[in-house]
C-alpha cells in the first residue's frame, strides 16, 4: 500500500494522444517491490519499474523503455523520501545491484518479502483457501552473514559515477555490475561477506597487480586470473581460498604463496584450472596448494566437511534456524522413513537422522554425494544412505527405495521436474516438506499436489539473504487421505 502523503493531484497525467515513450518524465508513488527488489508504481494504467526506488517514496522518474503495459524507468529525483528509507551502507550500492534492499530498513524488508511471498504463492493460497503464510523469520545479524563469496577477475572494469577521472580501467576483482555481465565492478569491501574475507579480497587485488598477472578477458578469452572464491566456517573460523585460473604455472603458485603469507588466517588454498568460455567458478580438477583442501563447519551438533565446489547454505547462523523450522515441520518420528531429495552434501537428512528410523538422500552431483558420505561417517550417522543420480530418473515407484513416510524436497531454483511430481503423486507420502528458494516455482509444482489430495498446512519464510529479495520458504503439505485411510 502506498504510504506516501504526496498529493496525488500533482502526479503527472499521461501524455495526450500517445503512449509513454523513452525520456518521458513523470511523478510516481512507489507502492511495492517486485521479486528482483525493484520499486514499482503506476503511471496511469502503466506499471513503472524503478530500480533503487523505496516503497512509500515519491520520485520523479524517467522512462527508459516501454514494454506493453510496463515502463522500465529510472529515478531522476527523489521528491519525498519513504519513512522506511535508510542510507545504504555499501559504497557500491548504486552500481552493484547485489543487495537491492539495502536502502530499506531491515524490519520493512521482512514485511515486503512477506508480501512478495504471498504474491508468488497466490495460486496455491487460493487453492488452499486460507492465508497460511507466517511472518518472515529474519536474521539476528543482517551484515557479514555470507560464508561464501565468488569474486571475478576482469580486464573490463566498470567505472562508477563517483570515481575520479583517469582511474585504471583494465583490472578489476569484484562483482558483475548491475545488468552488465561483460564488466566487473572492483569491490573494495563487501558488507555481506564474512569480515575476514574483505582483507583477503583487498590483498588478492593488490598482489595480482603488483605481480602483473593478467585478469581474464571475457571477449578474447585470454588472460590468467578468473575467479577468487572465499569460504568461511562461521563456527570453526576456517577459511578457504579457491582460485580459478586459465592455466597452472609458477606464477600462480607464487601468487598463492604471497596471499598465504599476507593472510595466515587462510587454512586451505585450492587451485582449479578452467580455460572454457563460460564465466563460472568451476574447474575440471582441483589441486590443493595448502592445507587439507576443505573447511569444516558446524551446524547444530554435527560437523560438515565442505570442499571447494560443493553446495552449502551460505548463511550458517540462519541455516541453523532454517533447519530448526524444517525439523519442526517434518516432525519425524522414530519409526519413520525420510526421503531427502536434492540432498546436496546431506545436511538436512544428516541433521534429522537421529529422529528417524531410516533416511535416504538423493543428489546428482557426485562431489556432493562424496561429501555427504564422508559427513555421515565423520558424524557417526549410520541410519542414512545416499544415492547418486537425477531425482527424476533414480527415484520411481519401482526403484527399490523404501516407501517414505515423509519427503523433504529442496530443489534448485527451477523447481521439480514433472516426473518427480508424478512420482510424488504415485507414492503419496503422508507428509511433504518443500524447501524452496523460488516460491513461484514452488507454487507451480504444488498445484497438482493440492489438486490431488494434499493440503497446504503452513508456509514459513526464512530470510537467509538480508538486503536481497531472495527468500527461502518451508512449505508443509499433508495428505488428506494418508495410505490406508480411505
Ligand atoms: C538447493 S540445493 C539443496 C541442497 C541441500 N538440501 C542442502 O540444504 O544443503 C539443490 C541441490 O539439488 C541438486 N540437484 C539439482 N538438480 C538435481 C536433479 N535433477 N537431481 C538430483 N539433484 C539435483 C544440486 O546439485 C544441489 O545440491
pLDDT band at 7 (very low <50, low <70, confident <90, very high): low
Tell me phi and psi for residue 116, to 5 degrees.
-60, -45
Residue 343 lies in a domain: yes
Residue 134 lies in a domain: yes
pTM, whole model, 2 decimals? 0.90
Residue 125 lies in a domain: yes
Residue 339 lies in a domain: yes
- Same domain, residue pair 202 and 180: yes
What is the spatial distance between Cα 424 and Cα 399, in angstroms, rounded to a whole number?
13
Range of the domain at 76: 8-85
Q: What is the mean pLDDT of residues 289-317?
A: 94
| CATH number of the domain to which 37 belongs | 2.40.50.140
321, 342, 394: residue to mutate for ligand 1 pocket, most atoms within 8 A of CB: 342
For ligand 1, atom 1: residue with the closest CA: 412
Query: Which domain-ending residue is among 273, 299, 325?
Result: 299
- Same domain, residue pair 129 and 163: no
- pLDDT of 398: 65
For ligand 1, atom 7: residue with the closest CA: 344
Radius of gyration of the chain (CA): 24
Q: What is the mean pLDDT of residues 51-64?
A: 94
Least confident of 62-66, 147-151, 181-185: 181-185
- Same domain, residue pair 43 and 129: no
Query: Which domain-ending residue is among 299, 330, 354?
Result: 299
| CATH number of the domain to which 241 belongs | 2.40.50.1070
Structural domain total, the chain: 3
**Confidence check: pLDDT of 3 > 70:** no
Ligand 1 atom showing the smallest separation from residue 437 Cα = 1
- pLDDT of 277: 74
- Same domain, residue pair 136 and 176: no
Within 6 A (CB) of ligand 1 lie 311, 313, 342-345, 347-348, 362-365, 368, 390-392, 410-412, 437
- Same domain, residue pair 381 and 464: yes
Cell of 219: 571477449
- Same domain, residue pair 226 and 207: yes
pLDDT band at 9 (very low <50, low <70, confident <90, very high): low
- Same domain, residue pair 205 and 175: yes
Residue 16: CB atoms within 10 A of its CB come to: 5
Residue 102 lies in a domain: no
| CATH number of the domain to which 118 belongs | 3.40.50.150
pLDDT digits (tens, 9 = 90+) for 329-356: 999 999 999 999 999 989 999 999 999 9
pLDDT band at 165 (very low <50, low <70, confident <90, very high): low
CA torsion, points 334, 337, 338, 343, in degrees to nearest 10? Answer: 120
Q: How far does the centroid of ligand 1 lie from the alpha carbon of residue 174, in Å?
A: 27
- pLDDT of 483: 67
What is the spatial distance between Cα 239 and Cα 448, in angstroms, rounded to a whole number?
44
- Residues acting as catalytic residues: 437
Q: How far does the centroid of ligand 1 lie from the alpha carbon of residue 210, in Å?
A: 40
- Same domain, residue pair 203 and 222: yes
306, 313, 411, 471: residue to mutate for ligand 1 pocket, most atoms within 8 A of CB: 411
Residues with Cβ within 8 Å of 325's Cβ and at least 6 positions away in sequence, in order, are 137, 460, 462, 474
**Confidence check: pLDDT of 255 > 80:** yes
pLDDT digits (tens, 9 = 90+) for 366-421: 888 998 999 999 999 999 999 999 999 887 766 778 889 999 999 999 999 999 99
Three-class DSSP labels, the chain? CCCCCCCHHHCCCCCCCCCCCCCCEEEEEEEEECCCCCEEEEECCEEEEECCCCCCCEEEEEEEEEECCEEEEEEEEEEECCCCECCCCCCCHHHHCCCCCCCECHHHHHHHHHHHHHHHCHHHHHHHCCCCECCCECCCCCCCCECEEEEEEECCECCCCCCCCCCCCCCEEEEEECCEEEEEEECCCCCCECHHHHHHHHHHHHHHHHCCCCECECCCCECCEEEEEEEECCCCCCEEEEEEECCCCHHHHHHHHHHHHHCCCCCEEEEEECCCCCCCCCCCCEEEEECCCEEEEEECCEEEEEECCCCCCCCHHHHHHHHHHHHHHHCCCCCCEEEEECCCCCHHHHHHHHHCCEEEEEECCHHHHHHHHHHHHHCCCCCEEEEECCHHHHCCCCCCCCCCCEEEECCCCCCCCHHHHHHHHHHCCCEEEEEECCHHHHHHHHHHHHCCCEEEEEEEEECCCCCCCCCEEEEEEEECCCCCCC
For ligand 1, atom 20: residue with the closest CA: 390
- pLDDT of 158: 84
Residues with Cβ within 8 Å of 416's Cβ and at least 6 positions away in sequence, in order, are 409, 424, 441, 445
Residue 396 lies in a domain: yes
- Same domain, residue pair 324 and 469: yes
pLDDT band at 484 (very low <50, low <70, confident <90, very high): low
Q: How far does the centroid of ligand 1 lie from the alpha carbon of residue 482, in Å?
A: 27
- pLDDT of 35: 81
Q: How far does the centroid of ligand 1 lie from the alpha carbon of residue 340, in Å?
A: 10
pLDDT digits (tens, 9 = 90+) for 134-154: 999 999 999 999 999 999 999
Residue 474 lies in a domain: yes
Q: Which of 432, 436, 482, 435 is nearest to 457 (CA)?
A: 432
Residue at grid coordinates 526421503? 339
Q: How far does the centroid of ligand 1 lie from the alpha carbon of residue 337, in Å?
A: 20
Residue 358 lies in a domain: yes
Ligand 1 atom showing the smallest separation from residue 391 Cα = 20
Query: Which domain-ending residue is among 240, 270, 299?
Result: 299
Alpha carbons within 13 angstroms on the beta-carbon side of residue 437 total 13
Q: How far does the centroid of ligand 1 lie from the alpha carbon of residue 124, in Å?
A: 23
- pLDDT of 200: 98
**Confidence check: pLDDT of 2 > 60:** no
pLDDT digits (tens, 9 = 90+) for 263-282: 999 999 999 999 887 777 77
Residue at grid coordinates 565492478? 185
Ligand 1 atom showing the smallest separation from residue 342 Cα = 12
- Same domain, residue pair 128 and 245: no
CB of 169 closer than 8 Å to CB of 159: yes
pLDDT digits (tens, 9 = 90+) for 464-481: 999 998 999 999 999 998
What is the spatial distance between Cα 80 and Cα 287, in angstroms, rounded to a whole number?
55
- Same domain, residue pair 408 and 334: yes
- Same domain, residue pair 287 and 372: no
For ligand 1, atom 26: residue with the closest CA: 344
What is the spatial distance between Cα 249 and Cα 254, in angstroms, rounded to a whole number?
9
pLDDT band at 91 (very low <50, low <70, confident <90, very high): confident
368, 412, 438: residue to mutate for ligand 1 pocket, most atoms within 8 A of CB: 412
Amino acid at each position: 500500500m502506498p504510504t506516501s502523503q504526496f498529493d496525488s493531484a500533482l502526479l503527472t497525467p499521461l501524455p495526450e494522444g500517445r503512449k509513454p515513450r523513452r525520456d518521458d518524465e513523470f511523478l510516481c508513488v512507489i507502492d511495492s517491490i517486485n521479486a528482483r527488489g525493484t520499486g514499482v508504481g503506476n503511471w496511469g494504467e502503466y506499471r513503472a519499474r524503478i530500480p533503487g526506488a523505496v516503497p512509500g517514496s515519491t520520485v520523479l522518474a524517467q522512462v527508459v523503455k516501454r514494454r506493453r503495459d510496463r515502463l522500465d524507468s529510472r529515478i531522476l529525483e527523489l521528491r519525498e523520501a519513504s519513512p522506511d528509507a535508510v542510507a545504504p551502507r555499501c559504497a557500491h550500492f548504486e552500481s552493484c545491484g547485489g543487495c537491492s534492499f539495502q536502502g530499506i530498513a531491515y524490519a520493512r524488508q521482512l514485511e515486503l518479502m512477506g508480501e512478495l511471498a504471498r504474491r508468488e504463492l497466490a495460486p496455491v493460497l487460493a487453492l488452499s483457501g486460507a492465508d497460511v503464510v507466517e511472518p518472515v523469520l529474519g536474521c539476528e545479524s543482517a551484515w557479514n552473514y555470507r560464508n561464501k563469496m565468488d569474486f571475478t577477475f576482469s580486464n573490463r572494469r566498470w567505472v562508477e559515477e563517483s570515481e575520479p577521472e583517469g582511474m585504471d580501467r583494465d583490472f578489476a576483482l569484484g562483482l558483475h555490475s548491475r545488468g552488465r555481465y561483460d564488466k566487473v565492478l572492483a569491490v573494495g569491501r563487501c558488507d555481506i561477506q564474512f569480515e575476514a574475507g574483505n582483507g583477503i579480497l583487498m590483498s588478492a587485488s593488490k598482489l595480482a597487480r603488483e605481480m602483473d598477472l593478467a585478469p581474464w578477458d571475457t571477449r578474447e578469452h585470454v588472460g590468467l586470473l578468473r575467479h577468487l572464491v572465499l569460504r568461511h566456517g562461521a563456527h570453526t573460523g576456517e577459511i578457504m581460498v579457491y582460485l580459478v585460473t586459465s592455466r597452472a604455472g609458477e606464477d600462480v603458485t607464487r601468487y598463492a604463496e604471497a596471499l598465504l603469507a599476507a593472510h595466515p588466517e587462510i587454512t586451505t588454498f585450492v587451485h582449479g584450472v578452467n580455460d572454457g568460455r563460460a564465466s563460472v567458478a568451476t574447474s575440471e580438477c582441483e589441486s590443493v596448494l595448502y592445507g587439507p583442501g576443505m573447511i569444516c563447519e558446524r551446524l547444530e551438533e554435527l560437523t560438515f566437511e565442505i570442499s571447494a565446489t560443493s553446495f552449502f547454505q551460505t548463511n550458517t547462523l540462519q541455516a541453523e534456524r532454517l533447519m530448526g523450522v524444517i525439523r519442526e515441520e517434518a516432525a519425524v518420528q522414530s519409526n519413520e522413513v525420510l526421503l531427502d531429495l536434492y540432498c546436496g552434501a546431506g545436511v538436512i537428512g544428516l541433521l534429522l537422522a537421529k529422529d528417524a528410523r531410516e533416511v535416504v538422500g538423493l543428489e546428482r552431483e557426485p562431489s556432493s554425494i562424496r561429501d555427504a558420505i564422508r559427513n555421515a561417517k565423520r558424524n557417526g550417522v549410520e541410519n542414512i544412505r545416499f544415492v547418486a543420480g537425477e531425482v527424476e530418473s533414480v527415484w520411481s515407484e519401482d526403484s527399490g527405495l523404501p516407501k517414505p513416510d515423509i519427503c523433504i524436497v529442496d530443489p534448485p531454483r527451477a523447481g521439480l521436474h514433472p516426473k518427480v511430481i508424478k512420482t510424488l503423486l504415485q507414492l503419496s507420502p503422508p507428509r511433504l516438506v518443500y524447501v524452496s528458494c523460488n516460491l513461484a516455482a514452488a507454487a507451480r509444482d504444488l498445484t497438482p499436489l493440492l489438486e490431488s489430495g494434499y493440503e497446504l498446512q503452513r508456509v514459513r519464510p526464512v530470510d537467509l539473504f538480508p538486503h536481497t529479495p531472495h527468500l527461502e520458504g518451508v512449505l508443509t503439505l499433508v495428505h488428506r487421505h494418508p495410505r490406508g485411510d480411505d
